[in-house]
Structures are given as C-alpha cells and as structure tokens.
Amino acid sequence: MAFFPYSGKSPQEIIVIVNTVPPMDFNKILWESYGWIFTEIEIDAAKEKKNFYDFNRTKQYKIITNKVKDIIKERKEEIELNPAFNENNGTGGNES
C-alpha cells in the first residue's frame, strides 16, 4: 500500500481529514476510491498483458495520478451538468 494516502494516520484522523478537505482534493479521492482505482489500473495493465506491479514506482505513480485526475474531471463534469448534485451532497435533489 505504498501509495495509500494518509499513511500513518489513525482512522479518526483520516475521518477528520476527509471531512475537512475540499471534495476534489487529490488524496481524498484516492482514499475514497482506492480499491476501485487499483482494480481499474490492474485491468488496464492486464489488457496490455502487463502487470502494474512490475512497473517502477515513477510509472506507477504517474498511472495512479492520471486515474485520480480522470475521476476529478468526471466529477467536475457531473457537477457542471447537474449543479444540484453538488448542492445536495451528491443526491441531485432527488432523495425523496
């Protein structure tokens, strides 16, 4: 878990951090989507008959960074298309 954000922090400290940083914070998104991100990365590498874990750390970091940036971009686009999504904590105002 070399790239796990908030390494060395207690669960309580992590809760405080993720509840106080902006929604599009890089580390927050990496933390929230850690499992999914790595699953996607592993699948992408396997499609090319490669193993993500055989890449050097610099290449791994670049791949992870690009995946998180893609998520940030997608979330920003969702908010632009449906501003109520952000205003209603991700519910889009349709929670009733």
Question: Can you tell me the distance from the alpha carbon of 79 to that of 86, in angstroms, rounded to the nearest whole number?
Answer: 6
DSSP three-state, residue 50: coil
For residue 67, the enclosing domain spans 28-87
pTM value? Answer: 0.78
Other Cβ atoms closer than 10 A to 31: 18
Residue 95 domain-assigned? no
pLDDT at residue 2 in the model:
82
Residue 39 domain-assigned? yes
Residue 10 domain-assigned? no
Question: Can you tell me the distance from the alpha carbon of 83 to that of 46, in angstroms, rounded to the nearest whole number?
Answer: 37
- Token pair 């590498």 is found at 45
Residue 56 domain-assigned? yes
Residue 6 domain-assigned? no
pLDDT in tens, 9-65: 999 999 999 999 998 999 999 999 999 999 999 999 999 999 999 999 999 999 999
